[in-house]
Amino acid sequence: MKMRLNFLTFCFGLATAVFGSTSRAEDAKAEANIVDTAIAHKNLSTLVTALKAAGLDDLLREKGPYTVFAPSNAAFEKIGQVKLDALLADKEKLKKVLLAHVVVGKKVMAADVMEMGGKEVNTFPIKVEGKSVMLGDAKVTKTDLVATNGVIHVIDTVLMPKD
């Protein structure tokens, strides 16, 4: 019995390493909408601040479905504090930038994105190489943060739409 348990523990550990972990705490977060799911992930706090500044937080609490390619805090740091402050101060430009990260009317899970190589999302090309997915210049770093009204995929770069 002990040997079987060790084998199952090993298999679970291997599956977690390959596919990522889904703890009971993360499963419980699936009961929250897109905004509340983002709030629960400290790595998305700058995005939450930007959504509130743009007045998009209420929209992303609605029924959906939505797929959000969410820039991490590090992604926002890449654009620099001066540029970020200017963006946060310009509500219309901020809305345009943030909406470039949202697919309205679809809940696109990671497995679906893997099959979308060569297509576009909001004018940004999707490139799939092995298990790596790029949306424009942004690499998808975490997938399938499931919300009641959609899903969030974390990316490492803020996508800037062409004017």
Q: Would you call 36 exposed, middle or buried from its count of C-beta atoms within 10 A (0-12, 13-18, 19+)?
A: middle
Domain hosting residue 79, numbered range = 25-155
- The pTM assigned to this predicted structure is 0.79
CATH of the domain at 118: 2.30.180.10
85 domain residue, yes or no = yes
37 domain residue, yes or no = yes
17 domain residue, yes or no = no
Contacts of 138 (CB under 8 A, 6+ apart): 69, 71, 75, 124, 155, 156, 157, 158, 159
38 domain residue, yes or no = yes
Q: Given pLDDT bands bounded at 50, 70 and 90, which one contains residue 116?
A: confident
Total of domains in the chain? 1
What is the tens place of the pLDDT at every residue in 14-29? 333 333 433 333 444 4
141 domain residue, yes or no = yes
Residue type, 126: I
Q: Tell me what the pLDDT averaged over the chain comes to.
A: 82
What is the tens place of the pLDDT at every residue in 98-114? 999 999 999 999 888 77
47 domain residue, yes or no = yes
66 domain residue, yes or no = yes
15 domain residue, yes or no = no
